[in-house]
Structure 1
Amino acid sequence: MNKNIVNTKFLVSTALIAAIYVVMTLAIAPLSFGMIQIRISEVLMLMAFIDKKYAPGLVLGCFIANCFSPFGMMDVVFGTACTAASLVGITKCSKTLFGASLWPVLCNAFIGIELYLFGSPLLLSMATVAFGEFLSVSVLGYVLFRQVLKNSTLVERLKIA
């Protein structure tokens, strides 16, 4: 395939996944930020299990969505860093889909530290953020992507290049 076409496909995929992440996060904004975070957009993290080239779009989407966070720049920096750390785990360390789904739960639990700085109890904050991630990624995402992975044609089409 022509290198320009490959680069264009990557850029379009990155922009598209970032935009979808932002829209899904902001559409349910009260649930996307705060003590109990249930970001349905986090289901998209499992796209990186299919193709690691989705990672830049997911990080960019998280960065943009967090620009609208009530926690300001702290969420932009630390939330995006947690997403990036999750994606490293998903792309480099995960052998199974369920294992991949646990990386966002583990990494985003550290957002509880951010909430602690705003007056919430530390362990409770970490537990509620982890629980929301578990519902989004390890339950909803796992069920959805388990079905996606059964369709080899779909999986091949989802790969960027």
Structure 2
Amino acid sequence: MKKLIRAAFICAIYVVLTVLPPFYTLSYGPIQVRVAEALTVLPFIYPEAIWGLTLGCLLANLAGNIGIYDVIFGSLLTLLAGYLTSRAPRAWLAPLPPIFLNAFGVSAYLAFILKVPYWYSVAYIMLGESIACLAIGYPVLHFLMKRNRSHFSK
């Protein structure tokens, strides 16, 4: 039950940090810093976060203006990134799956939908993901691991 509640809480936080002002304007398009992506490091210590992040991303993308491609492919990329993050051998590697999968995967459909150059989209999404995952997410992960050192053995 505790894991289900944690996953639901992560889902809710992801949605709030994506769709509410002022986050909404930062969360969609070829130039974005989706602050909620900071949460994508959590599967490293909480595998149940994979499902919370995936559902949160799906709901947030339904509220966005990109359309069905973002709902389907963005959610699937989040699912895959969450799984890979949960399998990372070291904490410092946890931010890398969401950074790279979103940079190259999300850019593939955003470039098509928004008619922007693919590598332009890759560069900006990678920058935004790096800000969210490395500058915000990794310190949060480090804090949680330090706070609960006895629970985590990775």
Q: TM-score, normalised by structure 2?
A: 0.89
- Give the superposed CA RMSD: 1.7
Question: How far 1:19 moved relative to its partner?
Answer: 0.9
Question: Is contact 2:19-2:64 (8 Å) kept?
Answer: no
- Alignment-derived partner of residue 50 in structure 1: 45
- Residue 30 (str. 1) matches residue 25 (str. 2): yes
- Residue 99 (str. 1) matches residue 103 (str. 2): no
Ranges in structure 1 where 5+ consecutive residues have no aligned partner: 1-7
The one-character-per-residue Cα deviations of 1:110-151 (angstroms, maximum 9, x if unpaired) are: 211112112011111011111100110022211222222222
Aligned with residue 19 of structure 1, among 4, 9, 12: 12
Q: If you compute each CA radius of gyration, which structure gives the higher value, 1 or 2?
A: 1
Aligned with residue 75 of structure 1, among 70, 91, 107: 70
Structure 2 distance, partners of 1:39, 1:13, is 21
Partner SS, residue 52 of structure 1: coil
The one-character-per-residue Cα deviations of 1:21-44 (angstroms, maximum 9, x if unpaired) are: 100111211100011121111111
Structure 1 distance, partners of 2:15, 2:118, is 27
Runs of 4+ in 1 over 4 A off after TM superposition: none
For 1:102, give the aligned amino acid: L
Aligned residues between the structures: 148
Q: TM-score, normalised by structure 1?
A: 0.85
Structure 1 distance, partners of 2:72, 2:135, is 27
- Alignment-derived partner of residue 125 in structure 2: 129
- Alignment-derived partner of residue 108 in structure 1: 102
For 1:39, give the aligned amino acid: R
Question: Is contact 2:107-2:118 (8 Å) kept?
Answer: yes
The one-character-per-residue Cα deviations of 1:2-60 (angstroms, maximum 9, x if unpaired) are: xxxxxx33332222211111001112111000111211111111221112111111110
